[in-house]
């Protein structure tokens, strides 16, 4: 692991640091909710996940329905959605090699930008399935490329004794809020043009990207340093 890490990034020699040991300390949700620092981080990350999951749920689970509501035949919408899943796979492979090259909280902005490009391509495709396929692949890539770094950011934002609790709370709140948010905006989709409807969903990634900028910087930092 160390050899692989040194090929990816340049690491300084380890320096002794002092911190309060938490060995044998059992964390609780009380520790999470009574600490101003970690409560703030929990709120930031939960809100970011909520907004991001609206986009993920909207496209990942209901893209065919969205396209059908916007005038595509269900079979055509399903085909576009299926081909677009290639973008999911590409984003996963991309993250393996490149996610450590950028500060974690910046990947949401990258994903939102790519997602916007994908929606524009789909809207401009018209009856051209080939262009729609390309746009769907770009869109799916953009909405997925930020997820792995965001998972890492969420876990790294909390100290060892409440890391699992902080991560679980932020992600769980995000899932619930994302699902509810999707129900709220679903009624607006049929009233919009295809471009505006797709941008509505991607817009939540933009919101998530802005919120995440208030999270701590974690890349190339010791976990003890982040938690002090």
Average pLDDT over residues 208-223: 93
In this prediction, residue 193 carries a pLDDT of 80
140 versus 17: the higher-pLDDT residue is: 140
In this prediction, residue 209 carries a pLDDT of 96
Domain spans of the chain, in order of start: 44-213
Average pLDDT over residues 98-112: 94
In this prediction, residue 20 carries a pLDDT of 59
Query: How would CATH label the architecture of 44-213?
Result: Up-down Bundle (1.20)
Q: Is the pLDDT of residue 205 over 80?
A: yes
- Determine whether 142 is exposed, middle or buried from the number of CB atoms within 10 Å of its CB (0-12, 13-18, 19+): buried
The CA-atom distances, in angstroms, between 139 and each of 27, 52, 64, 85, 105 are: 40, 14, 14, 9, 19
pTM above 0.75, yes or no: yes
Reported as a single tens digit per residue, the pLDDT across 46-100 is: 999 999 999 998 887 778 877 777 677 888 888 888 888 899 899 999 999 999 9
Residues 6+ apart with CB under 8 A from 132: 80, 121, 122, 125
């Amino acid at each position: 692991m160390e050899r692989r890490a040194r090929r990816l990034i340049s690491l300084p020699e380890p320096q002794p640091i002092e911190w309060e040991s938490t060995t044998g300390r059992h964390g609780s949700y009380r520790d999470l909710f009574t600490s101003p620092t970690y409560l703030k981080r929990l709120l930031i990350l939960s809100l970011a996940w909520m907004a991001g999951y609206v986009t993920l749920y909207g496209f990942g689970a209901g893209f065919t329905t969205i396209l059908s509501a916007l005038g595509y035949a269900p079979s055509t919408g399903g085909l576009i959605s299926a081909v677009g899943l290639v973008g999911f796979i590409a984003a996963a492979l991309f993250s393996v090699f490149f996610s450590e090259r950028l500060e974690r909280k910046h990947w949401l902005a990258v994903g939102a930008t790519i997602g916007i490009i994908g929606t524009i391509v789909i809207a401009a495709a018209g009856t051209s399935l080939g262009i729609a396929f390309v746009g769907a692949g770009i869109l799916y890539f953009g909405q997925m490329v930020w997820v792995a770094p965001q998972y890492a950011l969420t876990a790294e934002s909390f100290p060892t004794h409440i890391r699992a609790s902080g991560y679980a709370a932020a992600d769980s709140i995000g899932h619930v809020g994302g699902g509810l948010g999707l129900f709220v905006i679903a009624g607006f989709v049929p009233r919009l043009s295809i471009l505006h409807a797709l941008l509505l969903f991607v817009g939540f990634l933009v919101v998530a990207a802005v919120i995440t900028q208030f999270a701590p910087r974690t890349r190339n930092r010791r976990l003890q340093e982040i938690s002090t």
